Amino acid sequence: MASLHISQDDTKCWQLSFEADDGQLTLISHSFPSPDHLLEDARELVAKSKVPPGTVIVLAPPRFEAPRSEADPPYSKPAPRRAGS
């Protein structure tokens, strides 16, 4: 079964990868301070059928506690904009 993996790497950053049925891994996004944005991206890939039907999303637990500063607000999906705005 195909899956989208969200995991924390050795640099304490989060990444999103796609695992095909044959086990091949493809890195989609990397270097995010939290998994929030990646989870939103993974849900969008599934909803828009950009990945094979039946693809599951796997969110790994944090490997490290990444300090979050007060200046880093939680991720929220931005409103749509027209190109060039």
Place of tokens 């059928």: 49
- Does residue 16 contact residue 9 with C-beta atoms inside 8 Å? no
β partners of residue 59:
6
The dihedral built from the CA positions of residue 11, 15, 20 and 25, taken in this order, carries a sign that is negative
What is the token pair recorded at 25?
């891994």
User: Is the Cβ–Cβ distance between 41 and 29 less than 8 Å?
Assistant: yes
pLDDT higher than 80, residue 25: yes
How many angstroms separate the CA atoms of 76 and 36, rounded?
A: 8
35-49 pLDDT per residue, tens: 999 999 999 999 999
Query: Predicted confidence band at 81 (pLDDT cuts at 50, 70, 90)?
Result: confident
Arithmetic mean of pLDDT, 69-75: 68
Which secondary structure element, helix H or strand E, spans residue 17, and what is its range?
Answer: strand 14-19
